[in-house]
Chains A and B, each alone.
Chain A
């Protein structure tokens, strides 16, 4: 079974630009969550999508948005990039249904975004 795939692996953008990151979950998983990892801040939850609907949301500004497609693939968009948006963005998938997996998530390798 293929794991979680994130593309691209690295991105360099300048302030004010926008960026779109992509995530393909494990086959059969319907939940996709996005996290931002920065030094000293750990993993900060951005949002979760399940069956094309945003189900949970973290405390990030509206510049951060996402969507999920019918095949469960998800994209995350950041508009009007700021220097502080430089981080590793991680996508995680889970079955998202019932209580069987109790929240266990499987992560991709991440997209390293550098904003200059």
Chain B
């Protein structure tokens, strides 16, 4: 059972336009959401996060929106740049069953290509 879903394996946008990456989740226990970016031959790097008590978090060109009722979050990149071309992973965090720590669950990723 996939608890975090990124239904678009790939997305292509023009430089300067907006990129919107989507993510859906099923587990109501998730209370923190993160986006990671991964370039080939590198590990994922943390990009931006949002707590379940908020509906928006902004960091420069990157904004994450959370719709709790729809169990949906999205990452907006404005304006998109060729250097943003990478795989983007959505992740959700919930306390482990023992309650002592948080465990991350990742989606399968979306390959973003920004064309010059």
Contact = CB atoms under 8 A, between A and B. Distances in A.
The judgment on whether A and B are partners is yes
Interface of A: 4, 6, 31, 33, 35, 40-45, 48, 50, 55-56, 90, 92, 96-97, 99, 101-110
Interface residues of B, number: 28
Interface of B: 6, 9, 32, 34, 36, 41-46, 49, 51, 89, 91, 93, 96, 98, 100-109
A109 B34 CA distance: 19
Task: Name, among A40, A41, A99, A108, the residue most crowded by chain B CB atoms within 10 Å (CB to CB).
Answer: A99
Contacts of A106: 46
Q: Which are the 9 A-B pairs with shortest beta-carbon distances?
A: A107-B43, A42-B108, A103-B102, A103-B93, A43-B106, A102-B32, A107-B44, A103-B104, A109-B43
Nearest to A44: B106
Pick from A40, A42, A105 the residue with the most CB of B within 10 Å.
Answer: A42
